[in-house]
Amino acid sequence: MNFLVDYNLDGYATVFLGILTKRGWLEFFSIQFFTFREAGLSMDSSDRVV
């Protein structure tokens, strides 16, 4: 599963991914988080654009 992470939640996504990794959930699910920057979007992109 891929998740686009809002720029306000970048740090939380990193912590959440660490918890999932530590608890072994990534053995069952393929999860990736992408930032707006990685998706080629500006930080102030509207919901309609996203």
Report the Cα 12 to chain-centroid distance in Å: 9
User: Could you list the mean pLDDT of each consecutive 10-residue stretch along the chain, which spans 50 residues?
Assistant: 88 91 90 90 86
Predicted pLDDT of residue 24: 92
Predicted pLDDT of residue 7: 80
CA-CA distance, 19 to 25, in Å (whole number)?
A: 9
Predicted pLDDT of residue 23: 94
